[in-house]
Every structure is written in C-alpha cells, then in structure tokens.
Chain A
C-alpha cells in the first residue's frame, strides 16, 4: 500500500502517544475510540490485494462485523436489543430456494462438508468452494477428523425428530437449517460460523446438498 498513508498512520500514532488529549484516556495511552481509528488506519496501510483476495472487499463496512468486533474487544456481548436488530437485518438477506426445493443429495453434501477449499489468496476464481464444515463440526460419525469449535451435528435430524423432511411437521426445521447455513448471523448475531450463502461462499445447489446431509433420514448423519 502507499507509503504515505503508512507514514500518516505512524504519525497519528506518535501524536496520540505524545499528546493524548482524548477523553477517557489514561496518561500516555490513547482513548479507546482513538485506538479503534488507529487500528483501521494501520489495516488500510498494511494489507495489500493478493490473488483473488481484495482489501476493499475483505474490510468493507458491514454493521454486523463492526458491532461484533467491538463487543469482543470490550469483552461484553451485544445487548439483547442490538443482537435482535442485527439478527433481523441478516434474516432479510436469506434467499430461500428459488424452486421451493430445500433438500438435495446428501452424498454431494458430504463432499462439500469435507472440502475446505476456496477464497484464499492461493485459490483461483475457478476453485470450487467447500463448506469447511468438518473443520468445526462432527457430522458423519465415520469421519474422526472433525473440529470442535461448532456443536456436533451427528444425528442432527434424528435428534430433532425429522423422520420425513417433506412432511409439513418438518418444515420449520428444514427452513431453519437452510437459513442457518445461508446466514448464521440471522439466528445468532455474532456467531463464529460463516454466512455461506450470503457471502457467496456456497451457491443454492450446494446449500441444498448440505441440508440433505443433515436432514435426509438416509444420510449417515441420521443413522
């Protein structure tokens, strides 16, 4: 990035350190708001585009990210009203299946769940993106290499009493599963889980296959 910007950021840092007129700051340390601003200046100066990953896209302003990041820095979760507002905002972004079909092929879903590929600076625009699901979740019990950041999804449909995903009784759970994969933040404002559909990581067809992996009674998940 431009060296001028960089020097400006450093100069700002030096000024903050030296002067420190900001309210709420203790001697020799800039205020929290000044530190927020300085961090964003440093980010703009120090990251550069590489391959398919662009600075302008990676850090584009997004209220959900901004509020959740600030909550983490403060060590305090969002207040209930804000969390609810953010969840509603994200709920509006969910695209429901264009043909009304929520379930695809669980075998394809398993492949997508296994793959962690796509959207790094060493991937190309042609790379087929994976869902990264096993990185954080237990899914099929036969796969022992699973992460634990997310909850176990083994027996996902069975535990929730889904015996026929096409029945009216199952519709609420089918819709929730689709929505959670499409935009996790619609249900938990600062969820660790990516917004796979909303951010263009997975397409409608891929989400359909993942819903089948979780809810199809024939899927190994529900055995």
Chain B
C-alpha cells in the first residue's frame, strides 16, 4: 500500500509543479501535440492522410480566395482550380479537398477551422456519390476535432488536464517517431501514398518540387496508377450506391450530414455549392432513397446551390478507380464545373 501512496504523491507533486508552469492557454494551443494528430505513433492508421489534410491547409492559410473547395479525394484529384479560374475574370479557386477518412463531422470541423483562416465568398463541398463521405475509420473525426475543433479547457477529457502531457510529443519523438516516421517529406513516398504515381510525367515537374506544384496548382494533383488495373474493376452499368448512405441503424445520412456543412457556411455567412464527382455507373432506381433525402436537404436549404445532378456518368476509361478521375478527365470535369459555375454566378440563378 505504501508504494501506491508514494507513487500517487509523486504524481500529484509532478503534475502540480507543471500546473503552475503550464497554463490553460498553452495546453489548448498545444493540444495537437498531445493528441498526436500528425504523429505517426499510435495513430498510424490515418497518419499520412491527416498529414495531407494539415499540409494542404497550411499551404493556403491566411489567404484570400473566391471559391474554397473541401471534401473527399475525388475532388482533390478531380478538380483543377486553374481551369475553373479561366471561366472568370478575376476569381480565385482553392482546392482543399482531401480524404474521405475525415467523414462528415470531420469535414464540418475542418471547414469551421478553414473559414476562420481563409477569406472566401463561396464554399464548394465536393464528393463522390460512389462512396459518399463515410466514417469507416473510427476515431478520425474525433482526432480532427482535437486538432481543428474549438476547445475550452472545460471541454477537455479529464486526462488532457494533466500538464505532463505537454511533453508527450517530444517524448514520443525521442523514443519512437524518428524511427518509424512515414516521412511525409519524402516526395516519392508522399506521392505514392496518394496514388499520384506518374507525377513527373503528368506534370513535367520534378517530384522534389511536389509542394511547389501543389501550391501552384492550388491544391490539385494528378491521380494515376502506374498500372491502371491497380484501381480494380470500375463499376459500370447501374449504380448501387446505398452502402454509405445509411448508418448502422439504417437511418439515411445524406441530408443530416449535408446540413452539418450548411450550418457551418451559414454561421460564417458564406454561400455553399454542393457538387458531385462523376461516376462510371448510371442512374438506377436503387438511388431513389438518396435522391429523396437530397431533396429534403434542398427544400430546407434554398440558398444552397447544387448545380449538377447527383449522378453524372463518365466513361469507365476516365477513371483510375471508382472514385477518382484520371488527369485528362479531371481537366474535362473542371471545364464542366467552371463553365456551369460561371453561368450560374453571372446570371445569379440556380439551375435547380
């Protein structure tokens, strides 16, 4: 028993000492360190993805744009801002779409963070109907919340009040991270992990300069497998898209979660535009529940612009896999978006 009490006393003394050295604000500012948002240690499942999310955001923080795009990787690789900009005289477009792992709540939190840091008029929420933004990696949203969410010290989990956690990241770096870092700074590893496997050929840029390219392209990269078969069979024929539409209790998710995004844009008084990535499959009666859920969203949010149909069918050859367009098709898709947006915004009408 004595050892338990002595250990407890030592812990209390250490934490008290640190409590007076590290204040609440420092803890809140350092939250990403001890929640290990970008550290590979113990969070390796999505660490590269998280690092991409952070990296893209950091590239464009404190800038001003007219269109700010977020959403899943279909938009990351499917929308070329520079092409869209050609349809406007002096409007800018930034593509901060990243990865479906973020899930619906993750997008809303991320957008909330971005709108505080980036000035924009329109928010484009872009995703593929093929896999609808999902939350298949549990805990990812909460990780994003730890990093991008708004915190008060009273909101924190009890364990996060312990001030010694301030040093967590440093200790992990010392013991572990240096040895197992996925090394996001290694261009080839970075690009390969995103399936941007023909970067130099597609962009005529040395892979060392991928960050410069990413900044210059305003967030777009060419998605390409070395061997296209790696993307797997691409679903053609009628679409069967219901699998991420329901949660485990069989409640539809689209309207409810689009509303989360709309709530954030309303909060910041921004205009929301929702765009769906093309798919190789075609409309079927199977997607009727999705369409009626989408209608509900439209009805409740008349100010939201949804310029395209839920299903736009492209040829299977335009895709590297079910969700991602190849660079050539992404260029066509960007022209389609640019031309439609310019028509809508210049006429100030909503084609819906």
A and B bound? Answer: no
Q: Interface of B with A (CB < 8 Å)?
A: none
